[in-house]
Structure 1
Amino acid sequence: MAMIFADIKKAYCNICWMFRGKTEWADGVTLSKKDGLVKRIDLHEKSIGHRECHKNFAMCSSKIVPSTMRCLKQQGEEENKWSKVIERVIAVITSAASMNLPLRGHRETVGDGACSGGNFLELIQLLAQYDDLLSQTIGTEKGRHKYLSPTVQNEIICLIAKKTTDKIVEEVINAPFFALLLDSMTDISKIDQLSIVVRYVVMEDEKFTIKESFLGFVAMSSSTAENVAETRLCQNKLPLDVKNSKKRAERQL
């Protein structure tokens, strides 16, 4: 019997309290120094009221605990399954990006065994011929989540870009020298953009390697030097010490 002491002078039977048993221990018994606590507990455990409550407790435990364990096991299997699917999605995205291939297509179809409409889905379809997990994923009925939607693709691309940028920033911060290359251009929507490229030196095993990395575009209201300075691009994009900058590059007309 599990007891709960609400205060020094009262004790409750946990099982009888939960199932509102018709015993004095459900409402709490007053104890005194003269009372034999062990004897009273023994008598209570043998009482009909306590046994009825204990029976109800055992019945609930036999139903709740196994079902809870099954749910937890199923949840773990689902998490493991979709983690493996995401790993394959990331591999396809990075492979396509390394070859400068666009991901999206004109009419995309995913589900019920079909997977087509763009380089990304076509590569998934190709891998599914040799991968049971991807085959099951694209075989899922339409309308259910498959982690192959454009929204998921864009989110993964943003996360990869953030991770890549952080790695570049770390290398530049540790580099003895670096240079920023800034070049403005106008896109198809007539918005003036500034491309940011950083060139830096990486030292590995007493060997020097010069790297050049593109960090992205920044929208500009104008391409004047004053406007570039006002946007404080260096501070916004990279926490760099300008003392290590040994070269400046300007746009060649």
Structure 2
Amino acid sequence: MTLDGLNMQNPILLALIATLGTWGLTALGAALVFFFKEINQRVLNTMLGFAAGVMIAASFWSLLAPAIEMAEGRTLPAWLIAAIGFVAGAGFLWSADKIIPHMHLNATRGQAEGVPTRWRRSILLVLSITLHNIPEGLAVGVAFGAAASSGDTATLASAIVVAVGIGIQNFPEGAAVSIPLRREGLSRTKSFMYGQASGIVEPIAGVIGAALVVSMQSILPYALAFAAGAMIFVVVEELIPEAQSGDKGSADLATVGCIIGFTVMMVLDVALG
């Protein structure tokens, strides 16, 4: 595997291909609605916990650690650059969370967040997942941009690992959207379309992330840390609370799912990246 001859367009194309793949896995998970109408709460919580574990591990090994390494030798201390990017990423998602109308999986109609709206519950549920797919797509795009900037095959392998990890956890997320929508009375086709649509933002965010770091390489460590902060915000704000809902057994399984997801992503990143 080599990056010889990699030009400005290639990492953007690679990021697009990778995020189309993660979107495809979201659609594959959403397609489970054609086979199931119900999803056991314990299974759902385990899947959400798994997704949280993957995102936590990816945030450190694939984003924060490389950001600190790339920031070495700059005017500002490396830890400060990483901290600035991390807080900015969390702040960006916090702002989006306050503005974009959305609803968490276990929320009732009166618990919708963002600006007031009369949109249907199904749309608000999809927007909730779409909101946290933004940093996932951004993470993949920034990772491929970092590979182009460094010219290092290890960095390219790490970017591929990020895409694989995000894709793995997108599969249960697709099901976590489509099957509850089916339970609420939508047709299987509509439930699938809404479920896969929640991942469409990832290719958009991926291309933007790759284009920014390739065109402005000085922001690369900030961008990596930014994506990490946004992902951790999603984990703490949405995934863990939703995964911990339900009875004690469901919460325990969510914790186990988180540990497994973290371990899978850690092994992928350390062993392959």
Give the TM-score band, short-chain normalised: under 0.3
More strand by share: 1
Please report the TM-score for the alignment, with normalisation by the length of structure 1. 0.23
TM-score by length of 2: 0.21
Name whichever structure is richer in helix by fraction.
Answer: 2
Q: Which has the bigger relative contact order, CA under 8 A and spacing at least 6?
A: 2
Structure showing greater Rg: 1
